[in-house]
Amino acid sequence: MAYNFDKIYINGHWCDSTSGRFIEVENPATLEHFAQVPEGNEKDIDAAVKAAHEAFKSWSNTELAVRVGLMKKMLTIFEGYQDKIIDLEVKELGAPVSFSVQSHCVYQYTRTQSYIDCAMQLPLEEHLQASTVYREPIGVVACITPWNYPLGQVVQKVIPAILMGNTVVLKPSQHTPLTAYLLIDAFDQAGFPAGVINMVTGKGSAVGDALASHPLVDMVSFTGSTKVGSKLSQRALESIKRISLELGGKSPFIWLPGSDYEKAVGKLFDSIFLNSGQTCTAFSRLLVAEEDKKTVEALLLKHIPDYIVGDPSDPKTKIGPVSSKAQFEKITAYLKLGLEEGAKLLTGEIPTDFSHGYYIKPAIFTDVKNSMRIAREEIFGPVLCLITYKTIEEAIAIANDTPYGLNAAVFGNKQKAIEVAKQIKAGNVYINDAPRDVTAPFGGYKQSGIGREGGFAGLLEFTQPKAIFDRSSF
């Protein structure tokens, strides 16, 4: 491996940042600063974007089969880094090893392979009555990714963008940047042309803004909070760049009356508690029939002990620390707020000490009204809100009474659940125990974002259509 955490990657080379400054990476379980990455600046961004702009001239004209071949080679190399990826996710994010293996590592291989498979099937030409529509690459894509899924969100952007003939400048989160180095190293080892992929680490306020406003950047793809995404997109739109945003959520899970709720607990708890609740699609609002409230509360309490909080390196641990002091303080403030608003803590506690790691036990609020801030704002932690409804119509209204629309779920009779799902304003809705489909489009309604990731839709996101009216008579 040629990578070095003290370097950035520009034009096919690991090099020093011109800033000469570094950002410490903290292990949230031990509070140890165990690595550092460069604090990139505008000069670094300018060099990376210019390299990507120059590389686009030839990469955009490279045959799809060649791009796919290189991506297959990259994936083979990257799969060899599995143990290192898991180790780094445990250390930089605090994700338990039991969760990191599948969700932070193996699933990212699956996603990459899915994009490769879809790229080879994707029709990039469409013949209409008097024209042909060609799908062409957009240009230089700025990929700005979050800390909660350090590798997953990079894969969702970088892989489809490059497969479609674009070039990329990646800015991973300053808090969890390390696994991105492994991916870039795999690209480097696979022999991708210089400038096709570049990476500059640094603070979002400097590096992210510089990317969004650079005149040679053609598209900005961002995943993160709605607040930051709104500001970043405004900066990008000053020069009318293409934007793709995957933002926040406050996802509802409707349990239909009379169902066998025991079968639904695992899906609910895995969503809101694994990764310490730091998941944009987490089912953070549980909607149950008013008459079933006591039964559901007892059921939730029964299964809480299954979700062990502790050392993320212990295979028995299901919930590790939250990612940072800022996260710890934010979630703690929401726990206090919930009590002030009149909700009741069915389980959980308000933590007071983080000297041995940023640990927060899973919390469940009951007696929650959907008008409360804890039910409307994205807490981004292991905090579940239990809300009751009187009728199915009211459940649907509560589910849709949110500024977000990223994810949702319905549990109960399959046909009835599908009927309810169709009325929920969200980009993704799960029925009962249905698994995630990696080829399906992923993205949100309302303030949850613009654009889609995954499958054919995720590839087309990084293309632009050109109509050539070619049915001429001579």
Backbone angles phi, psi at 383, to 5 degrees: -130, 120
User: What is the residue whose two structure tokens read 């640094």?
Assistant: 202
Predicted confidence at residue 205, as pLDDT, reads 85
- Tell me the whole-structure pTM to 2 decimals: 0.96
**CA–CA distances in Å: residue 251 to residues 375, 398, 445:** 10, 11, 12
Structure tokens at 135: 């799908």
Residue of 111, 108, 114, 112 whose CA lies nearest to 82: 108
Residues above pLDDT 90, as percent of the chain: 98
Task: Check residues 205 and 310 and name the one with the higher pLDDT.
Answer: 310
Residues with Cβ within 8 Å of 114's Cβ and at least 6 positions away in sequence, in order, are 438, 439, 454, 455
Residue of 332, 339, 329 whose CA lies nearest to 361: 332
Q: How confident is the model at residue 277 (pLDDT cuts 50, 70, 90)?
A: very high
Report the C-alpha gap between 273 and 206 in whole angstroms.
Answer: 32
Q: Which long-range contacts (CB under 8 A, 24 or more apart) does 116-120 make?
A: 116/68, 116/71, 116/72, 116/75, 116/159, 116/163, 118/439, 118/455, 118/456, 118/458, 118/459, 119/64, 119/67, 119/68, 119/71, 119/160, 119/163, 119/164, 119/459, 120/64, 120/68
Residue 240 is which amino acid?
A: I
Strand 140-144 relative to strand 219-223, pairing: parallel
Residues with Cβ within 8 Å of 54's Cβ and at least 6 positions away in sequence, in order, are 195
Report the C-alpha gap between 378 and 280 in whole angstroms.
Answer: 8
Predicted confidence at residue 115, as pLDDT, reads 98
Dihedral angle computed from the Cα positions of residues 179, 180, 184 and 190, in that order, rounded to the nearest 10 degrees: 50
- Burial letters 156-169, b for 16+ CB under 10 A, else e: bbbbbbbbbbbbbb
Chain segment 113-129, per-residue pLDDT in tens? 999 999 999 999 999 99
Report the C-alpha gap between 440 and 450 in whole angstroms.
Answer: 16
Predicted confidence at residue 1, as pLDDT, reads 59
Predicted confidence at residue 147, as pLDDT, reads 97
Q: Is the pLDDT of residue 392 over 90?
A: yes
Residue of 324, 318, 399 whose CA lies nearest to 362: 318
Chain segment 204-257, per-residue pLDDT in tens? 889 999 999 999 999 999 999 999 999 999 999 999 999 999 999 999 999 999
Predicted confidence at residue 124, as pLDDT, reads 94
Chain segment 337-358, per-residue pLDDT in tens? 999 999 999 999 999 999 999 9
Q: Which of 200-209, 272-281, 304-313 has the lowest mean pLDDT?
A: 200-209
Q: How confident is the model at residue 2 (pLDDT cuts 50, 70, 90)?
A: confident
What average pLDDT does range 261-283 have in this prediction?
A: 98
- Per the prediction, the chain carries an average pLDDT of 97
Residue 115 is which amino acid?
A: Y
> So which residues are the catalytic ones?
246, 280
Report the C-alpha gap between 379 and 151 in whole angstroms.
Answer: 22
**CA–CA distances in Å: residue 126 to residues 70, 133, 191, 238, 468:** 26, 5, 32, 32, 10
Residue 228 is which amino acid?
A: V
Q: Do the beta carbons of residue 277 and residue 254 sit within 8 Å?
A: no
Domains in the chain (CATH in brackets) are 8-247+448-468 (3.40.605.10), 251-436 (3.40.309.10)
Report the C-alpha gap between 106 and 89 in whole angstroms.
Answer: 13
Report the C-alpha gap between 371 and 387 in whole angstroms.
Answer: 11
Report the C-alpha gap between 440 and 428 in whole angstroms.
Answer: 9
Q: How confident is the model at residue 3 (pLDDT cuts 50, 70, 90)?
A: confident
